[in-house]
Chain A
Amino acid sequence: MELPGTLSRRDTLKSISSGFGYLAFAALAHQQARAESETRIDPLAPKPAHFPARAKRVIFLSMRGAPSHVDTFDYKPALKRDDGKPGKNARLRSNALMGSPWSFAQHGKSGLWMSELFPGLAKHADDLCMLHGMHTDVPNHPQAQIQMHTGSFQFVRPSLGAWTLYGLGTENANLPGFVALNPPSGNTQAFGSSFLPAVYQGARFGRSARGPRHRGKGEAIPNIANPMLDREQQRMQLDFVQNLNRKQLKHDQYQPEIEGMIESYELAFRMQDELPELMNVQDESKETRELYGINGSDTDSFGRQCLLARRLSEAGVRFVELTHSNWDHHRNLSTDLPNRCGEIDQPIAGLLADLKRRDLLKDTLVVWAGEFGRTPHSQGGNGRDHNNKGYTAWMAGGGVKGGFSYGATDEHGYAAVTDKMHIHDWHATILHLLGMNHEQLTYRHAGRDFRLTDVHGEVAKAILA
């Protein structure tokens, strides 16, 4: 029995009913209609934004470990000039200012400065909106990561993706609305819903989603396949389960939760088909796979994630988050940083190109950020220390100005000085691009209304296209 994914719930029920004449479907349909018109509101149904949105969906490229801004996107000629002079924050005399060993050039019509570490991305300079005035509260990885994701490093709060899903609902009822690909193990807070209802938490897919013990064993999505039954058998079984459920619903007359349960079984059954298919990039053309750098080289891993992100976004997933790790370059900056950049440059360039040619970039907000930046002075001669006072993130597509630089750090890159953007401001701006007022997106918990931005946050209007 084939079930096209586009059928509405009522249609689905009718199509299933055909083989089971003993159920009084007319009465059931009546109850359904009542239920729909009354209290039941699907928490994941698409919801109107507060105002017309520029972006419909988000792809968040999360860089764990804090990439150096002064070697990538924040061009600091004065740092080069003062190379070897004592840095302001130096702990030892040998920790002098260190100009970037990589050369910078201007790219695109906009003349955006970027270092030679991102040759592929440089071709998309006119799509990028650089945020040079980023700053965050704590120069520690775990706290800063959590703050980047939830706004708070002290308390357990819902994540950006969960707030987005809560605010906008999902566009594809066959898929989860918030997906985290290759999430770091532990760290559930970054994708959690905290006090928001659990339906808004991120579904975590990828090799580390279930801990190292399961790594490499293939089953990236928990419980997605049945080890005993084939598809036909399982459909038969599910029809039986659904008949039991509908009988219970009929008996209870009014039970929104059981109705939700019936829907969840159908969605789960469809997910079993759609999700593994969606997660399989092999059916993409060779050209497309090459575009993302899926060719067995260093770009392969992140390229797959980027391609998956596009496929999930295209299929209607509201918020997709990718993770790329190992950016904590206290040492071996000269070799490790180019390696990391090399791993992500072509995949991200490919993602932007692919989104563009599918006309998705205009309403897909691509966000790139680490949890903070690194010091302009060196650490041990070939590394940089943590720096939370000033760093760079960027956005592309989804209603931001392309080829645009917003905010700046001081001449060496220590601290944001103009158009500063705190994490709260960054969150407020992302929500704004999605058509939401960060002050109105609230949830009542423990006696008060909570916001992603707490009592802070200012939308960076200047970057809106």
Chain B
Amino acid sequence: MWTALFAGSETSLMNFTESFSFAISALFALAPTIEGKGDEDLSQAQSHFFESKIRPVLAEHCYRCHSAEEKIKGGLVLDTRAGLRGGGDSGDTIVPGDPEASLLMKAISWFDEDYQMPPKEKLPDAAIEAIGEWIQMGAPVPRKPVEGVVSREMDIEAAREHWSFRSPKQVPLPAVADQSWPRKNLDHFVLAKLEEKQLKPAKEAKPETILRRLNTDLIGLPPSPDEVAAFLRDWHEDTEGAYANKVEALLDSSQFGERWGRHWLDVSRYAESSGKEINTTFPQAWRYRDYVIDAFNADKPYDEFVREQIAGDLLPAGNDAEWQEHLVATGFLAIGPKGLNERDARQFAADLVDEQIDTMSQAVLGLTVSCARCHDHKSDAIPTTDYYALAGIFNNTKTFFGTINQGNTRRATNLLELPQKDSVALRSYTRKEMAALRTRLSKSEVELAEVVRERARQRRSQTPDTQNLNRRFQRLRSSTALLRSKLDSIDLKTGTMKALAMGAQEAALIRPTKVLIRGEVDKPGPEVDRGFLQVLPHTSTSAKPTATHSGRLELAEWLASKSNPLTARVFVNRAWQHLFGQSLVNTPNNFGVSGAQPTHPELLDQLAIGFMDDGWSVKQLVRTLVHSSTYRMSSKFNASHHGIDPTSELLWRHRPRRLDAEAFRDSLLHASGQLDLERPLGSEVGALGDPGFGSRLRGVGDTGASFEYRSVYLPMIRDAVPQSLALFDAADTNLVTGTRESTSVPGQALYMMNNPFVIAQSKAFAKRVANEAAKPRDRVSRAYQVAYGRDPSEQELAAALRYLRTFYIASSKGKSRRKLGHSQLSLESFCQSLLASAEFRYIN
């Protein structure tokens, strides 16, 4: 074996890089005139050997530093035929036919401490072996590199005919037989379809039912008994007036943003940690959460909302407050899941960009553009080159997500410092504390420097013993990074924590982007211009990216333009789903060819056009939808209609729905009277490690177990979502969630039966009921009003009283663990029963 030959060679004191690069430059200068094996002699097998065994290795491990396209360290170029072939004088890089004499072999076999290439990680054995073999056979290099994956012919023009890629069309209202039913234009479309199938819309729901539905849909909370009573009074006086007033009051309430903001947080895969292997907190992610909630409360036009999240940092801002808001909005690009232990910086960067494209395209466009990362999209006309045209925009964007380089966390970045201070600082430090931090940091830095020096000394010795040193090095590097980040996040003048945010900025230097063959970072293909998707229309408003900018601003304009046929359609479909429990397009994140067809295409188009004409106002959209007769239908079952349309796809009734995780938990707190409607400052995640830049998490347990704020403010750690939400199908924080599941699993049942949080709410609920009413009868009624928003029937009342009595008697007689308070226990267990029941969990 040739490798063995190096084992005994003397360690040269000469700096390897210098000697190597000297040799290489000499070689390189001569390269054009030196010929190795003639091309004519290259057998197909040799060509194949090079392309399959050698070029991939060089591409993966060497081109980063030795490529005509990337950088040319030490003058060595390994990605051109000229650079590879031939030999030189002393220390020949490649001596064809003689691996032992080739400096390249010496470098890659890593036998000498000072002769090691690639410097960070040794090549796999198979690769070293193959290179040896290749040199042995004369280092043949074919003239032409293998071309990139050839794009199959895609008929983009034909693909533009797909329904969702065409602009929404205004159509006249369809004729309907029952003129008295429609309230809004949208009702005509619904009714026409129903009449076509000889179906009748269900009657209007009862006012109590409508109120509970409306409350839940708009603010995610049930109405209180007093609100129910007032509404019923008004309804009987002036039905339409009462309804309209209620809608306005709910739209104006600051709980509206908490409900509708959460819907957007589902699609923007909001979470407060990196997830994946090295789960590290994002203690500043909450600013983005609050931004989203505030945007829905302020009825920020949806087009502006999209623009800010994609390119807020590049938008003009009238003042610091606006600038701040825009910066925080770009957190959209930064909060995704990340593999922070990735060794390869390019791989990390490519995955980051992919995650951004994936989220943006599914969330805003309802397209799965990321499929085109490795090959042309299988069903949509999105060639790989389109993917990289978009990737070019994000490649030239710098994403700031914080985190600290410690242990296996290798990919930390800085955070954005916001122009405005927090009105209430998240944390304050005394002068003494700051001084102590500084002292500890400088001590840590000094020790770290010592260890680095000592380690270098040891490495040169005959019997190196670096194990303990390595451990110390790791520890010190971590503690130094942690202390530095801590100091970095403090405003040293005031001692308060700086206002930091996750977000994005333009790259300092705009660079061209290449297609990556099969998505592999080591296989760059042809260069592509930055741009958008060809299959969607481009207009004068969607200017092309220029050479001096990433093009992110233009991308944002293009996404949020009225001429983009998808953006408005995708959003109105989402809004429809949140109010009707089903979508017009059943695949809300996929409007492509493989997605579902709309059940009511004209209706979808009218809504999209109306949405844009109303200045992209989400509140106006919601108002339109809830004022329809369609929304106010009862959910009453109808066997004959069910036979024709079992899922009520055509909307012959309102579909009953389970409360989603947040609404359910909030309703529990609402019933118990414990809900705190204030917005908490920041997030509990900040307390789980470094409050500025974040720390790695290990086994955090069930977070937020006794949290009494609204659920949207619970700490959202990837892979450790609070049990109270995770059990009830909260959004998967690793994915763009368009539709939540609605499961009924025993874990939920156990939670409702036995969980301390539920028991605490049941007790508080019982206490409240006992305070608000004295007689058992009245207590039962009150409990029904609080939990269900209605009075119990006589039958229900009787059953409840019977239960209270039976439970009391059985408990006093039995060998209960409790000696006293059986009456209280009965009431508590009754209250818990209501919370655990289907009527509490489902809205009709």
Contact = CB atoms under 8 A, between A and B. Distances in A.
Contacts of B592: 447
Given A197-B741, A199-B745, A254-B637, A156 B756 contact: no
Nearest to B835: A241
A213 B701 contact: yes
A208 interface: yes
Contact of A154 (B351, B590, B720, B744): B351
Contacts of A228: 759, 817-818, 825, 828-829
Nearest to B798: A22
B61 to A, nearest CB: 14
Interface in B618-650: 635, 637, 639, 642, 646-647
A143 B741 CA distance: 28
B175 interface: no
A257 B594 contact: no
B837 A186 contact: no
Contacts of A213: 699, 701
Contacts of A92: 113, 464
Contacts of A238: 753
A111 interface: no
Interface in A192-219: 194-195, 197-199, 203, 208, 210-214
A229 interface: yes
Interface stretch (A102-110, A261-269, A336-344): A261-269
Contacts of B124: 89, 389
Contact of A86 (B3, B734, B810, B817): B3
Contacts of A258: 744, 838, 842
A233 B719 contact: no
A17 interface: no
B413 interface: no
B467 A415 contact: no
Interface stretch (B158-166, B179-187, B494-502, B799-807): B799-807
B751 interface: yes
Contact of A263 (B378, B744, B755, B828): B744
A271 interface: yes
Interface stretch (B81-89, B125-133, B472-480): B125-133
Contact of A240 (B635, B656, B699, B803): B803
Contact of A186 (B111, B719, B743): B719
A244 B379 contact: no
B395 interface: no
Interface string B323-364: 000000000000001010101000000010000000000100
B837 A89 contact: no
B837 A245 contact: yes
A253 interface: yes
Nearest to A208: B699
Contacts of A415: 125-126
B122 A241 contact: no
B595 interface: yes
Nearest to A449: B594
Q: Looking at chain A, what size class is its interface with the partner chain? A: 35 or more
A168 B746 CA distance: 19
A241 B836 contact: yes
Nearest to B7: A86
Nearest to A234: B753
Nearest to A34: B639
A140 interface: yes
A316 to B, nearest CB: 15
Contacts of B702: 210-211, 222
B324 to A, nearest CB: 33
A258 B371 CA distance: 38
B749 interface: yes
Nearest to A243: B799
A22 B795 contact: yes
Interface string A263-284: 1110111011000000000000
B643 to A, nearest CB: 10
A212 B754 contact: no
Contacts of B828: 228
Contact of A414 (B125, B700, B830): B125
Contacts of A195: 732, 735
Nearest to B700: A211
B754 to A, nearest CB: 4
A213 B747 CA distance: 21
Given A248-B839, A415-B125, A447-B592, A223 B699 contact: no
Contact of B735 (A38, A156, A447): A156
A323 to B, nearest CB: 14
B744 A264 contact: yes
Interface string B105-118: 00000110100000
Contacts of B699: 185-186, 208, 211-213
B129 A88 contact: yes
Given A93-B7, A227-B759, A415-B126, A240 B732 contact: no
B414 interface: no
A194 B736 CA distance: 12
A380 B595 contact: no
B814 interface: yes
B368 A446 contact: yes
A143 B343 CA distance: 12
Contacts of A187: 719
Nearest to A233: B811
A18 interface: no
A232 interface: yes
Contacts of A262: 838
Interface in B550-602: 587, 589-590, 592, 594-595
A195 B701 CA distance: 23
B697 interface: yes
A278 B829 CA distance: 28
A7 B242 CA distance: 51
Nearest to A271: B746
Interface string A338-369: 00000000000000000000000000000000
A255 B636 CA distance: 11
B841 interface: yes
Given A156-B734, A185-B698, A212-B699, A240 B815 contact: no
A85 interface: yes
A268 B698 contact: no
A414 B720 CA distance: 38
A188 interface: yes
Contacts of B815: 230
B698 A253 contact: no
Contact of A268 (B110, B729, B753, B811): B753
Contacts of A269: 749, 753
A331 interface: yes
Nearest to A173: B746
Given A185-B698, A248-B842, A224 B754 contact: yes
B587 A447 contact: yes
Nearest to B589: A446
17 contacts: A88-B3, A91-B110, A156-B734, A156-B735, A187-B719, A194-B732, A199-B745, A211-B699, A211-B701, A223-B753, A229-B829, A236-B803, A244-B839, A261-B838, A268-B749, A446-B589, A447-B595
7 A-B pairs closest in CB distance: A142-B277, A185-B699, A268-B749, A211-B699, A211-B701, A260-B744, A447-B594
Given A140-B343, A185-B698, 6 more contacts: A86-B7, A156-B337, A186-B720, A223-B754, A232-B810, A254-B637
